[in-house]
Structure 1
Amino acid sequence: MTTRTVTTFVVFNHPFRLTGLDQLQPPGNYEIETDEETIDDLSFIAYRRVSTLIHLHPQPDRPGIVQTWTVDPSELVAALAADERSTEEATPVGEKAGYNETVR
C-alpha cells in the first residue's frame, strides 16, 4: 500500500474553534496535511483519506509550543464556510458588488 501526503493552506479571516480545542484559534494562514493511501485491487490508481492534520499557531502564553491537531475534514470545511459567511456579512455592500464606494 502506497501513502502520500497532500499539503494545502487555508486562510481564516476570523477566530475559529475546532472540536477538542479549548481555545479559539486566531485568524491567519494554516497548513493542512492530508495523508492518503492507495486503494488496492482496482484497475486504476485511487486514494482514500487516512487522516487530516492542521498545524496550529502558537498560543501567546506558550510561544515556543507548536501543535498539530487531527481534524475531521467535514468540520474543517464547515469552519471555513462559517468564516466565509462572516466575511461576506462584514463586507460593505459596495465592495461585495465590486465597487470602491461605500453604500450608505
Structure 2
Amino acid sequence: MDNTLTKSVVVFDRPYKMPGFDETLPAGEYGIETELASPPDHRDPEAWKASVMIHLLPRVSHPGLTRSLLASLVDLDKARARDKLTRKQLSDVFFEEMLADPMEQLVMRADGVSEAQLRHLYSGSMNADRSQSP
C-alpha cells in the first residue's frame, strides 16, 4: 500500500481549539501534512485512520520552539467548518458553495442566468427576511 503524505496549508481566520488539546490556537496560516494511507509498518492497516500533522505557530514566549499536533482528519475538518461558519450564516455558506459547483454553473449557463443575477436575487430575499425578524 502506498504511504501517501500530502503537504498543504490551512488558514484559520479566528482562534480555534482542537479536541484533546488544551490550548486555544491563534488565527493564522498553518502548514499541515496529511497521511491518507496507513504507514507500511503499521500493525493493523484496517484500523488505521487518516491523520493530519499540524505544524503549530511559534509562541511569543518561545519564538524558536517548533511544535506539531497530530489530529484526525475529521477533527481538522470540523475546526475548519466552525471557523468558516463564524464569519457567515449557514445559508450564506451554502449559497457560495452552490455558486462554486461546476454542475450549478452549467445549469445557470443553460438557463441564461448569471451569477450577478442570483446574487442580486439572493441579497434581496435575505434583506427582506432579516427586516421581518424581531
Which secondary structure does the structure 2 equivalent of 1:64 belong to? coil
Amino acid at match of 2:19: T
Bigger RCO of structures 1 and 2 (CA < 8 A, at least 6 apart): 1
What per-residue deviation string (whole Å, max 9, x for no partner) do you get for residues 35-76 of structure 1?
Answer: 2337xxxxxxxxx86432111101112211111110111111
Identity over aligned pairs, percent? 28
For structure 1, which runs of at least 5 residues remain unmatched after alignment? 39-47, 90-95
Q: CA deviation at 1:22?
A: 2.2
CA distance in 2, matches of 1:62, 1:6: 28
For structure 2, which runs of at least 5 residues remain unmatched after alignment? 39-47, 90-95, 97-118, 128-134
CA distance in 1, matches of 2:54, 2:79: 13
Q: Counterpart of 2:32?
A: 32
Q: Counterpart of 1:56?
A: 56
Matches within 5 A, 1:1-104: 1-37=1-37, 50-88=50-88
Contact 2:34 2:53 in 1 (8 A): yes
Q: How many residues align?
A: 85
Distance 1:59 1:70, change over 3 A: same
TM-score by length of 2: 0.54
CA distance in 1, matches of 2:63, 2:9: 21
TM-score by length of 1: 0.67
CA distance in 2, matches of 1:72, 1:33: 11
Which secondary structure does the structure 2 equivalent of 1:37 belong to? coil
Between structures 1 and 2, the one with greater helix share: 2
Distance 1:23 1:37, change over 3 A: closer
Larger radius of gyration: 2
CA distance in 2, matches of 1:17, 1:32: 16
CA distance in 2, matches of 1:72, 1:83: 17
